[in-house]
Structure 1
């Protein structure tokens, strides 16, 4: 497999980036929003500072994304006018064989973000793309369409990643991911963290944000926070290397938010204003289709992708419709509330949508791509005690029971659950009865660690060794940073845990800590 030349697919070098920031004070002043278009745009600083991306691939289409932001950490630095942006998609990375091109309007109402849904593409094919505005040209990005629905597929290679707190470490894992030339990347959420800016000495941090930002509440706040993250060149390289299938988790809005409630007791009608701002900024910065354009505080995040006849990927939303956390949240012994059948993680409509999709699927593998750990995960290492995290599926036992029963009732083929959030690597079995290890295994769960959140970790210690003994359904644990690479064929699913020794310094090597395999028709985890 040809290695990906990452340096050709990042926006600009670090020196040019910093030089451009110095000129940001010369940028445009703001005025009232107008429908007029800015003719003959000229920029005092490079407008593609946040890179390019593609996402939501289908067999015949894909979304191309960029955002014009010459002053990225200060609202973007654009005038309150629309700007015409040219786009091209080609069959070669030198952009000599241009297959389609057109113009899109970068609107001030959407932070001058551009989402181009390009159709008429061939299935399972690499494409390359770029944008132009005025005399400026973006870097070239690589994307790929999915196989045709139902078509035979020999192999799919993709990564699962997320949880990338800026101050906890460098995004080195993305640089390695970019070199893999993957079919796509599943990002499970926590793309940003809403915590306020920290400075050295206040806590142990690996790096500081380029600007001091407080906790975000407004649309401009969230735009600035996304800009800090998207300006990272390693993250830009990953986006430019493959299409992303994204969803969100709590830190995209507020820690442990549940539906219309945050953890601070904010009145729901007030919190929904903040959620609306967060969702708009999320949409503006992600390669999403127009079907995901938020309507106020609501966004359509659950959706389905057919990977030929090989796999159906069901992307879930475990935040927007969930009941409030049980037992007062946090880690504690269970209370009666977790067994309440009226409580939900997905909401009734999404539960039906998932059941219908599983029942209709004819794919070899059925993949639930979601956020929080689903298998039972006792957090107390003492044999005589138990404690569970109420923000995870352990706090929604009845809802988890319904989902597992749906997997069983629909006879969904080879269920695989992809998870993140917990900042550790895990692998385990989803049991019909977690108190009885001889009960039926209804699926396999692979949990990806964080890109940087939690800072440098470790392989395993005495506490987690004890936790593995407390959780016999869990077959593997590791507490280092990195990502999870999946290689899927009709016969087997292989999960490769890619880890870094440190994220405190950039440019570190990566290694495969463990490779685990599930054979089709045999719901158990074995070493590769």
Structure 2
């Protein structure tokens, strides 16, 4: 580090070599900061406990924060004379001491004196080198008369070591203010080599809409020391000052479950957006309504620097903050790790260098004359518009001599080349990528979706019409279905009746489907009218042969007509379809007749750069690449293809495994609330279920249809019920059912639900039809309504990732039965594919 940087941070960034007792820490090469400070005396405490990070074969980064025993745990460190504390490290087994502050046993490999300074909020970050590879160590800090809890870490295996197995968990999105942190208890009980944290370690907002749901009682309300109102002079606030960001890390780290994770396992961490601001790019804030007078995004360099420094001070990461750099890019957190011959782990920063969203939030909506905001820029973005704007931006960069990706990048030019070089040079069996936002294409064909919804909404009306017509033709549901089918397709009543007679007669005489259609045309039907009439007759007759009668036959006819004629007509004619006009919602639906990208804050919003990275892997035959991803509050597994826009979706190149958040509200819940304002379009996301439960009244659920719209396989009644289990269990708990009775009560309610016609017919048909849209066939698993974490077991021949979904709150506490279900994704070496079990 240069001299100016050392002057400010030299006494904070300390390094020593593990070679025995009595060492002093050395910051840089200039001096031994801390050696001239008196050791702290009296009563002290470690309110955020201890932490370790960035395990390498010969080093570790160790962290703590110590304050006088009388000091507030989350207030700024009291000003006054700086002092020093001790760090003690041993390789002796002290596993029995974890969770407590008893003195370490065994010979020490380091006894280091470290400075404790109020200007860094009494945090300590110390790099210990000279360690042995693949070794478990225990450590403890001593301040005055008090010891910290015991910590443990394991160094990485040597770069040339043959490693049979690694096991680690990855986690993300731990909002203090909603749901619970029980997942951390489950993670602490796993047998791990380390933990990867993919960001959103803190949330910068307090009192935001998405933070007002149920939360465990042990998480009290947050109060930012300074804070800025998001809108006006009331409501939600966001962190702005260094004190605000420090406060959040301190408060989050007071939870003993998070402390236990840091005490037991070394973290490899990066940030995402909420460590600074939601959906951040560089130093820009993207809250709706927060624009400059000219409509451009609001850049907040000072706020970004505060966020950087607080992350640097509180995260045990082996990185440096450049005090001489006065820009917001004063820290570099992208880095890589080697774990023997088995794994190279590459961690990227996808916020600090990314260009603006391709369609900026500040773009003026011509319909309103106001900035576009989130919808249409980051979320639910018309794909053709996105492609056009991205091409224009890249062409503009090229005309002024820049790399075309400079204006459409997540990584930035320097980091992108670093990533390519690291991947190409990697010699390990597996190349894992600690990736903040998903690489998977998540799109939706709006035309097919609207056609499906309009067909679904027509089923009831058409079914009723078939029943009425059947009564008029002597109870013959087959003939009635034919008549209604022809009328629905545009035939007059007289022509429909004539056609029905001709078709029925042909069928009765053994005529083929073609012969029946020809008879209908001869009676005056058009070819299209005859085709749907014949198809309806066949379906109704088949159902009758299977034993269906009356209303059931009418329902078969109604579904056949709706999905056999109405849906294809809307798909073909779009807004010009008579069924769109008849719905009375033509104007409201007009903008949805296109393809959409659901989330352009992730890699779908930087499509050309994604294609460049995949081309690099493909051209250089770089295999066994798997991204481990967070951010979106959902579990996903699928392949990342070279070009999702190519015929068939392109060729798989690597795999992306996305973990749900620890506690943050799910992706489904966000879209459910947003879609609720869009009328019938909201049915693509959720379906209301009102379930009567004896002794409790009605339990109201929002069934998750987003999964099926996005590509989940068509369900059975049983799998549909199983999908409901976790949400139902949580709703029953909220109604006061004791946890000891929750499993049995949930099972009983689910059994009854499967017999409910609204569930086993209406909802089942809806889910099956949405699944048939065929969106995103590369997605092999998706669960958009979940909290949890992912456990990875890596061996030379395969990688297994266990998606562990946790149960919801029981009253105001985390559930005793934490893990609700486990879904396993398996990637076999040599194949860019993923199998789900």
Query: Aligned partners of 1:36 and 1:211: how far apart in 2?
Result: 38
Aligned partners of 2:780 and 2:836 also within 8 Å: no
Judged with a 3 Å threshold, the aligned counterparts in structure 2 of structure 1 residues 130 and 524 are, in CA distance, closer, same or farther, namely same
Describe the shift of the 1:120–1:330 C-alpha distance in structure 2 as closer, same or farther (beyond 3 A): same
Partner Cα distance (1:127, 1:168) in 2 = 35
CA distance in 1, matches of 2:84, 2:297: 38
Counterpart Cα distance in 2 of 1:280 and 1:99: 31
- 1:380/1:467 contact within 8 Å kept: no
- Higher relative contact order at CA 8 Å, sep ≥6: structure 1 or structure 2? 1
Inter-partner Cα distance in structure 2 for 1:315 and 1:211:
30
Distance between the aligned counterparts of 1:270 and 1:397, measured in 2?
Answer: 25
| 1:459-474 aligned within 5 A | 461-468=704-711, 469-474=774-779
- TM-score by length of structure 1 reads 0.87
Q: TM-score of the superposition, structure 2-length normalised?
A: 0.56
Please point out which of 184, 196, 206 is paired with 1:196: 206
Q: Deviations over 1:462-481 (max 9, x none)?
A: 22112114111110012211
Matching of residues 12-161 of structure 1 within 5 Å: 37=37, 40-43=40-43, 47-69=45-67, 71=71, 74-91=74-91, 92-93=93-94, 94=97, 95-97=104-106, 98-161=108-171
Q: Match of 1:229?
A: 252
8 A contact 2:623–2:832 mirrored in 1: no
Say whether the 8 Å CA contact 2:178–2:212 is kept in structure 1.
no
Matched, 1:488 2:782: no
C-alpha separation between the residues in 2 aligned to 1:161 and 1:64?
20
Of 360, 370, 378, the residue aligned with 1:330 is: 378
Q: Is the 8 A contact 1:434 1:473 kept in 2?
A: no
> 1:306 aligned to 2:320?
no
Change in Cα spacing, 1:465 to 1:270, as seen in structure 2 (3 Å) is closer
Deviations 1:123-180 (A, max 9, x none): 1111111101101110001100001013110000011101011111221111111111
Within 1, Cα distance between the matches of 2:54 and 2:273?
21
The verdict on how the C-alpha distance between 1:35 and 1:129 changes in structure 2, with shifts beyond 3 A counting, is: closer
Question: Could you tell me which residue of structure 2 aligns to residue 497 of structure 1?
Answer: 803
CA contact (8 A) 2:625 2:654 kept: yes
Q: Distance in 1 between matches of 2:194 and 2:148?
A: 21
- Name the counterpart of 2:240: 217
CA distance in 1, matches of 2:653, 2:448: 26
Q: Please give the alpha-carbon distance, in whole angstroms, between the structure 1 residues aligned to 2:178 and 2:156.
A: 34
Q: Tell me whether 295-304 or 480-489 shows the greater mean CA deviation.
A: 295-304
Partner residue of 2:291 out of 265, 279, 283: 265
2:187 matches 1:170 = no
Structure 1: segments with no counterpart, 5+ residues: 1-33
In the aligned structure 2, how far is the partner of 1:173 from the partner of 1:518? 24
Question: Are the structure 2 counterparts of residues 452 and 381 from structure 1 closer, same or farther at C-alpha, using a change threshold of 3 Å?
Answer: farther
- The answer to whether the 8 Å contact 1:280/1:293 transfers is no
Q: Which residue of 2 aligns with 1:6?
A: none
Q: 1:459, CA displacement in angstroms?
A: 12
- Matched residue, 1:519: 828
Contact map agreement 1:449 1:483 (CA 8 A) in 2: yes
Q: Is 1:288 aligned to 2:311, yes or no?
A: no
Q: How many residues matched? A: 492
Task: Map Cα deviations across residues 191-238 of structure 1 (whole Å, 9 max, x no partner).
Answer: 1101124699x9323145354234211111111111111111111111
2:437 partner SS: coil
SS in 2 for 1:191: coil
The Cα RMSD (Å) is 2.6
Preserved CA contact (<8 Å) 2:76 2:243 = no
- Counterpart Cα distance in 2 of 1:420 and 1:194: 17
Q: Aligned in 2, Cα 1:322/1:439: closer, same or farther, shift over 3 Å?
A: same
Q: Structure 1's 460 and 393: CA in aligned 2 closer, same or farther, altered over 3 A? A: farther
Aligned with 1:483: secondary structure? strand
Cα 1:330/1:198, change in 2 over 3 Å: closer
Report deviation, 1:79.
2.5
The alpha-carbon deviation at position 410 of structure 1 amounts to 2.9
Q: 1:292 to 1:488 in 2, by over 3 A?
A: farther
Structure 2 partner of 1:419 = 629
Task: Output one character per residue of 1:56-100: Cα deviation in whole Å (capped at 9) or x when no partner.
Answer: 110011111111245456533332442311111112215212222
Query: 1:393, 1:517 → 2: CA distance?
Result: 23
| 1:499 positional shift | 1.3
Question: Which structure's residues are more often helix, by fraction?
Answer: 2
Structure 2 unaligned regions, length at least 5: 1-33, 98-103, 228-237, 362-376, 395-403, 450-593, 670-700, 712-773
CA distance in 2 between counterparts of 1:72 and 1:155 reads 43
CA contact (8 A) 2:628 2:658 kept: yes
Give me the whole-angstrom Cα distance separating, in 1, the residues matched to 2:105 and 2:146: 18
Which deviates the most, 266-275 or 395-404?
A: 266-275
Q: Give the alignment partner of residue 242 of structure 1, picking from 265, 276, 291.
A: 265
User: Conserved in 1, the CA contact under 8 Å of 2:285 and 2:299?
Assistant: no
Give the 3 Å change call, closer, same or farther, for CA 171–357 of structure 1 in structure 2: same
Match among 453, 459, 474 for residue 664 of structure 2: 453
Partner of 2:604: 394
Is the radius of gyration larger for structure 1 or structure 2?
Answer: 2
Give the secondary-structure state (helix, strand or coil) at the position aligned to 1:522. coil
**Which residue of 278, 283, 295 maps to 2:307?**
278
- Determine if contact 1:142/1:240 at 8 Å carries over to the other structure: yes
Of the structure 1 ranges 73-82 and 213-222, higher mean CA displacement relative to structure 2 is found in 73-82
The aligned counterpart of 2:720 is none
Q: Quote how far apart the aligned CAs of 1:439 are.
A: 3.4
Q: Which moved more, 1:320-329 or 1:68-77?
A: 68-77
Distance in 2 (CA, whole Å) between partners of 1:40 and 1:59 is 32
Q: Kindly report which structure 2 residues correspond to 1:351-366, keeping only aligned pairs within 5 A, or say none.
A: 351-366=416-431
Deviations 1:233-277 (A, max 9, x none): 111111111100000011000111101322133688961111110
Question: How far apart in 2 are the matches of 1:420 and 1:179?
Answer: 21
Specify whether residues 460 and 300 from structure 1 end up closer, same or farther in structure 2 by C-alpha distance, changes over 3 A only: farther
In structure 2, the partner of 1:185 is 195
The 1:419/1:349 distance shift into structure 2, 3 A limit, reads same
Q: Secondary structure at the residue paired with 1:153? A: coil
